[in-house]
Amino acid sequence: MADTNQPTTGMTKRGFLKTCAVGAGALCLGREAGGATTPTGPGPAQIAQRGLIGMAPSPWYSALDNDRIRCELCPRLCELDEGRRGPCRVRGNRNGQCFTLVYGNPALVQMDPIERKPFFHMLPGTRSLSVSTAGCNLSCMFCEVWDMALVTPEDVHAYDLSPEDIIAQAREAGADSVSYAFGEPVVFIEYAMAIGALAKEAGLRSVVHTAGYIQPKPLDALCELVDAANIDLKGFDPDFYREVCGGELDPVLDTLKRLKKAGIHIELTNLIIPTLNDDMDDIRAMCAWIKDELGPGTPIHFSRFYPLYQLANLPPTPVSTLDEARETAFEAGLEYVYIANVTGHEGENTACPACNESIIKRLGFVVEEVHLSGGSCSHCGHEIPGIWA
């Protein structure tokens, strides 16, 4: 269990927009002083405010002696004294109960192509309303949105939007789904689940992009409301997870197996960082595990690292390394292997593993061609795993 009874301090913004990969600056909607506005919706646009705290009780905790609690949302199992928060910065002990402090206060609300999540086997070419709050229960040294995820809710500019407001925004904007993404959805699970229940009633899909660092009970509850999950499988070396990400590998693997058992559509993202998790033997072992435990039809996105945050001293991932990882995955028996953050790479496209003909052609997040018929290859009839309708 984690010893978490330490004061939570903010983090100074250090040129985030200058050091992000291309496109990451768009993730900062509403977090600059002066405030961007929310997307146009049925009500008046809002100016993002700093310091909002949206308290709501959490069911995932146990009461201990002397008003202490054990948060049971994630594998950290933080034990918290009265008035203290966990290292996620957004969950704490108030009067002997566990509360989320970001309910209804997203720091990000924006429309995106579903391909940006990334989901390549779900409703190609559709739009998704992305929602995220402050906070994360990991501490990755390569975090792309550290100024939202690795700070307290008091440190960000956020909106005051109920789950009903989010659904109204999604419908007004013509979204086909709501995405809990960019930050870490695990730490705002109560908010995500409330939105997800309303999304289901409204005929919208719910998708999540998460590190998957979560306990089984809350994960099972989330699975009842989510259609698809993209899991950041950050590496396949326990030491890498522990030293670079601030977590453990095994709980993430357990999450993946539970998602598979629950029938959730799964895609994976593996950010390859030079010198840290680019060992091809580890990548080969990871791909073999994916094939055996999740199935050869599980899509994986090998993503290019760009220097930022605490790893600004490292170079971008060589495209040759991504190509080698892709070839390694194919050799291990995976059928849908993609390259991310390299616009124009052939690894952005989907090919049928049976006839090798093009099924979906993409350029960045733009879908240029789709050759599917009822979820099957239009050329040979081979069934393609995913959510297509």
* 54-80 confidence digits (pLDDT tens): 999 999 999 999 999 999 999 999 999
What mean pLDDT is predicted for residues 213-238? Answer: 98
100 neighbors 363 (Cβ within 8 angstroms) = no
Which tokens belong to 67?
A: 């008003």
Query: What pLDDT, on the 0 to 100 scale, is given for residue 46?
Result: 81
How far from 290 is each of 29, 75, 242, CA to CA, in Å?
35, 22, 21
pLDDT band for position 15 (50/70/90)?
very low
Per the model's pLDDT, the better-predicted residue between 189 and 28 turns out to be: 189
End-to-end CA distance of the chain: 43
Q: What angle do CA 171, 175, 178 make, to 5 degrees?
A: 95
Per the model's pLDDT, the better-predicted residue between 163 and 27 turns out to be: 163
Please list the alpha-helical segments (H only) found in 64-162. 146-149
For β-strands 177-180 and 56-57, DSSP reports them as unpaired
d(CA 36, CA 18): 19
**pLDDT of 18 above 80:** no
195 neighbors 175 (Cβ within 8 angstroms) = no
Query: What pLDDT, on the 0 to 100 scale, is given for residue 19?
Result: 29
For β-strands 300-304 and 265-272, DSSP reports them as parallel
What mean pLDDT is predicted for residues 357-374? Answer: 96
What mean pLDDT is predicted for residues 356-365? Answer: 96
Query: What pLDDT, on the 0 to 100 scale, is given for residue 47?
Result: 87
Query: What pLDDT, on the 0 to 100 scale, is given for residue 137?
Result: 98
81 neighbors 1 (Cβ within 8 angstroms) = no
Tell me where in the chain the CATH 3.20.20.70 domain(s) lie: 16-48+103-261+282-296
Provide the whole-model pTM: 0.89
CATH topology of domain 16-48+103-261+282-296: TIM Barrel (3.20.20)
- Give the 3-state secondary structure of 191-256: HHHHHHHHHHHCCCEEEEEECCCCCHHHHHHHHCCCCEEEEECCCCCHHHHHHHHCCCCHHHHHHH
Query: What pLDDT, on the 0 to 100 scale, is given for residue 29?
Result: 38
Query: What pLDDT, on the 0 to 100 scale, is given for residue 373?
Result: 96
**pLDDT of 340 above 70:** yes
**What are the φ/ψ torsions at residue 119 (nearest 5 degrees)?**
-125, 115
Q: How many CB atoms lie within 10 A of CB 95?
A: 9
Maximum pairwise Cα distance, the chain:
66
What mean pLDDT is predicted for residues 184-200? Answer: 98
DSSP reduced 3-state for 388 = coil
pLDDT band for position 23 (50/70/90)?
very low
In the chain, the percentage of residues whose pLDDT exceeds 90 is 87
**pLDDT of 41 above 70:** no
Strand residues in 141-185 grouped as ranges (E)? 157-158, 177-180
Give bridge partners of residue 269 from the DSSP assignment.
232, 301
Query: What pLDDT, on the 0 to 100 scale, is given for residue 54?
Result: 95
Query: What pLDDT, on the 0 to 100 scale, is given for residue 44?
Result: 56
What mean pLDDT is predicted for residues 184-204? Answer: 98
**pLDDT of 5 above 60:** no
